[in-house]
Amino acid sequence: MTHEVTVRNVSNRHVAVVRERRRWADLGPQLLPLLDRVYAAVRAGKVVPSGHNIFIFRDGTSDGVTVEVGVEVASALAPIDGIVPVTTPAGEVAMSLHRGPYSGLGGAHGAVRGWCKEHGRPHANVWWEIYGDWQEDAARLETEVLYSLLPMPGALA
């Protein structure tokens, strides 16, 4: 599957998350227990979702990455039961829409990183996945993959 990459400006999104530092080998389906903790707070009425599930990745190094796994909310909330408020970055992003099983998300990430390298557009050390509505048919799943771009060299801030 080929992944088209586009550049656009996005607004930040408020997200209620569980945050952990993870090794690269401990990503993928192993992040679902973190999301389960957020949804326990949703079921208890402590968090009110207003959008989609969002997984944010920050400060990636060779050893691992900080993951923030949660659900979009209408506004910032007070920390509760290990759930903290964060926002996705606002500004210019390179993004791709992945259609199909989550196991293929690596292709979308590779396409965006490749586009950044090919076009001389370094990305910040933060990227995120916005999961579309659940579909029983995995071929119909849609996930947006976004990488925050650094300003162009010489661009006015």
92 lies in a domain? Answer: yes
47 lies in a domain? Answer: yes
With a cut of 90, say whether residue 156 has pLDDT above it: no
Report the number of distinct structural domains present in the chain.
1
157 lies in a domain? Answer: no
Residues whose CB falls within 8 Å of the CB of residue 125, separated by 6 or more in sequence, listed in order:
58, 59, 60
Query: What does DSSP assign to residue 35?
Result: H
- C-alpha closest to that of 20 among 37, 1, 43: 37
Instruction: Measure the CA–CA gap between 41 and 63, rounded to whole angstroms.
Output: 30
Containing domain of residue 67, as a range? 6-149
Q: What does the pLDDT look like over 124-133, one tens digit per residue?
A: 999 999 999 9
Integer angstrom CA distances of residue 99 from 4, 47, 91, 94: 11, 29, 24, 17
81 lies in a domain? Answer: yes
State the pTM of this model.
0.93
**Which residues is 94 bridged to in the sheet?**
7, 147
CATH number of the domain that residue 99 is part of:
3.20.80.10
22 lies in a domain? Answer: yes
Q: What does the pLDDT look like over 39-94, one tens digit per residue?
A: 999 999 999 999 999 999 999 999 999 999 999 999 989 999 999 999 999 999 99
155 lies in a domain? Answer: no
Integer angstrom CA distances of residue 133 from 83, 125, 137, 144: 22, 27, 11, 12
114 lies in a domain? Answer: yes
Q: Which two tokens stand for residue 19?
A: 């945050």
31 lies in a domain? Answer: yes
Of all helices (H) and strands (E), which one includes residue 144? Answer: strand 142-149
